[in-house]
């Protein structure tokens, strides 16, 4: 009897420990998100620059469509553009094609921003992806890993934008001045240097994302098409800055620091 009682107690303790372990595993993601994530609990209120009030808040000379002199811009402590989110695998189908559509997704994010498509459907996104990929395959011989210049070219050719610039960047102020002027910025990056925990296998070699704002502590607000958690995803400024590189024929870590800026047609 004593042995049976002892065995029962041991089994009860074991069961208790297993239940506790199960609860910990279930709560692990929530615990990490709460105490170890770089993501803020909330973002600044998103500004729609199409709104007349928002336009009045822009510095003199910073109205939409004009060239930005970053040194002359008085930037606010924090800023957040209202920008639609485009996931590069809109139906969660991370196949060989959608693993490579970050450039298209980043470009489409900005296109939907200018055309005021606030919540694009997966079907709408896939139609646009197909158009872009067809153009790239015909023009460049492949749709994978387009350089900043090639991305600017397909934005112009497929959607008819007259002015799309690939500009060198020397500091975050160059990027912020464009964003504050109401133009979300596309950044080509070395994906593995982003250190995004939501990426598989450490992330892609090459990755494009969109900068839409910044926080008072300097962290950068992005729409990152490489993760379903990418809407308003926040990066530490030094991490993102170190990752900014153009494709450079695959020698990405020596690629130039540039940004792609799309201007609305007047």
* Domain boundaries, given as residue ranges, for the chain: 1-37, 52-262
The average pLDDT across 18-41 equals 53
CATH placement of domain 52-262: 3.90.70
Q: Is the pLDDT of residue 7 over 70?
A: no
Q: Is the pLDDT of residue 34 over 50?
A: no
Model's pTM, two decimal places?
0.82
Where residue 56 falls among pLDDT bands split at 50, 70, 90?
very low
The average pLDDT across 115-134 equals 97
Whole-number average pLDDT of the chain: 86
The average pLDDT across 154-179 equals 97
Q: CA–CA separation, 36 vs 33, rounded Å?
A: 6
pLDDT in tens, 210-262: 999 999 999 999 999 999 999 999 999 999 999 999 999 999 999 999 999 99
pLDDT at 41: 87
SS (H, E, C) the chain: CHHHHHHHHHHHHHHHHHHHHHHHHHHHHHHHHHHCCCCCCCCCCCECCCCHHHHHHCCCCCCCCCCCCHHHCCCCCCEEECCCCCCCCCCCCCCCCHHHCHHHHHHHHHHHHHCCCCCCCHHHHHHHHHHHHHHHHHHHCCCCCCCHHHHHHHHHHHHCCCCEEEEECCCHHHHHHHHHCCCCEEEEEEHHHHCCCCCHHHCCCEEEEEEEEECCCCCEEEECCCCCCCEEEEECHHHHHHHECCCHHHCHHHCCCEEEEECCCC
pLDDT at 55: 47
The average pLDDT across 118-145 equals 97
pLDDT at 49: 72
Q: Is the pLDDT of residue 132 over 90?
A: yes
pLDDT in tens, 89-118: 999 999 999 999 999 999 999 999 999 999
Q: Is the pLDDT of residue 54 over 60?
A: no
């Amino acid at each position: 009897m004593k042995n049976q009682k002892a065995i029962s107690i041991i089994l009860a303790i074991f069961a208790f420990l297993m239940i506790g372990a199960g609860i910990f595993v279930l709560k692990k993601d929530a615990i990490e998100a709460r105490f170890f994530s770089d993501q803020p609990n909330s973002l600044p209120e998103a500004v729609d620059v199409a709104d007349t009030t928002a336009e009045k808040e822009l510095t003199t000379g910073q109205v939409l469509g004009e060239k930005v002199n970053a040194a002359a811009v008085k930037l606010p402590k924090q800023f957040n553009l209202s920008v639609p989110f485009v996931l590069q695998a809109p139906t969660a189908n991370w196949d060989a094609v959608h693993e490579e559509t970050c450039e298209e997704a980043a470009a489409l994010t900005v296109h939907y921003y200018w055309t005021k498509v606030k919540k694009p459907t997966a079907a709408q996104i896939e139609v646009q992806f197909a158009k872009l990929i067809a153009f790239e395959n015909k023009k460049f011989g492949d749709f994978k890993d387009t350089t900043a210049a090639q991305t600017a070219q397909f934005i112009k050719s497929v959607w008819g934008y007259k002015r799309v610039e690939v500009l060198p960047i020397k500091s975050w102020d160059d990027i912020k001045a464009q964003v504050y002027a109401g133009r979300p910025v596309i950044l080509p990056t070395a994906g593995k240097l982003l250190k995004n925990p939501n990426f598989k296998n450490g992330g892609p070699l090459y990755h494009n994302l969109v900068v839409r704002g910044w926080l008072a502590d300097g962290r950068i607000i992005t729409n990152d098409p490489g993760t379903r958690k990418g809407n308003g995803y926040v990066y530490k400024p030094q991490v993102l800055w170190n990752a900014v590189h153009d494709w450079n024929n695959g020698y990405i870590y020596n690629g130039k620091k540039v940004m792609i800026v799309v201007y609305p047609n007047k």
